[in-house]
Amino acid sequence: MSGSSNGTPGTSGYLVSDLVGLALEQLGVGVGGMNMDPQGLASGVMHLNMMLAQWQRRRWLVPNLVDMAFPSTGTSVYYIGPGGDLDTPVRPDKIEGAYARLLNGAPLSEQGEFAPTDFAAADFATPVNGLDAGVQPIDYALEIIQSYEDYAGLGLKALRSWPNYAFYNPVFPMGEFYPWPIPTGAIWEFHVLFKQPLQTDLSLTSPINLPPEYWDAIMWCLAARLAPSYGQEASPTVTALAKSSLGTIRASNTQIPTLGMPSILTPISNPFYWPGLEIQKL
């Protein structure tokens, strides 16, 4: 059993019906002899799905980043989304990070989410004369071009060389990933980091497969969201607890990348330079 309808969480958390019911109780619906009508529950589920769709676009409200890989074929654009070069259920709204992997003779990662087992020694070790002379893939961070205007400013978009940058255009229904310069196929693969999609197709009997701290946030935020449907303003208590529960999630999920120095300040000609110096701490 993956959830509960009696007020106790199952192995995967509460059911949608549990949290929608609790949210309505904060508005006085379902207590004191007032019944929860089926339409009210259905509306609560619709509001929950819309709320989670909004949360999906906020980095600090998503518990997981995923690292997914796809091979380079030498083309200038790759599609990310349902049925794309990187097949995902929904297209990401933005790329949080990206890197290119020079395979160096290593096998391709499996299509889909990158797993630490990709680094299993058996995948790379090729003993030569009794010595472990296995090949190892080499990863190179790609600097994200943040806007289409900046990508449009590239003078030689068809340049083919070692990849250093990437631009992501969040077209719907499939986003467009542009590496630059354009690497050759076969020997490279691209890894992109983006927010893992949240559930947005829930029904009353669906389990809430999110960390436990989300249960409280969903209940209070949903109560505040449903209040106008019942001719109410969210009470100060509901508002305060919704903000407090979201603050807990923010503290849990926030990740701040290391502050880096512009590469122009650490030129390769510097005798103290090593690959990656430009992203070291100041």
Given this model, what pLDDT does residue 263 score? 56
Structure token pair of residue 157: 């978009």
Peptide bond into 173 cis (omega under 30): yes
Structure token pair of residue 88: 């995902």
Given this model, what pLDDT does residue 255 score? 81
Q: 101, 188 in Cβ contact below 8 A?
A: yes
pLDDT tens-digit map of 165-177: 999 999 999 999 9
Given this model, what pLDDT does residue 39 score? 87
Radius of gyration of the chain from its Cα atoms, rounded to whole angstroms:
24
Given this model, what pLDDT does residue 136 score? 77
b/e map 112-129, b = 16+ CB within 10 Å: eebeeebeeeeebeeeee
Domain covering 1-63+198-282 in this structure, CATH number: 1.10.3230.20
Residues of the chain with CATH 1.10.3230.20: 1-63+198-282
Q: In what order do the strands lie in the sheet with 138-145?
A: 86-87, 78-81, 175-180, 165-169, 138-145, 97-102, 188-195, 65-71, 112-113
Given this model, what pLDDT does residue 220 score? 95
Q: 84, 169 in Cβ contact below 8 A?
A: no
What three-state secondary structure class fits 213?
A: helix
Low-confidence ranges of the chain (pLDDT < 70): 1-12, 30-35, 106, 110-135, 259-282
Given this model, what pLDDT does residue 12 score? 56
Distance CA 171, CA 149 (A): 15
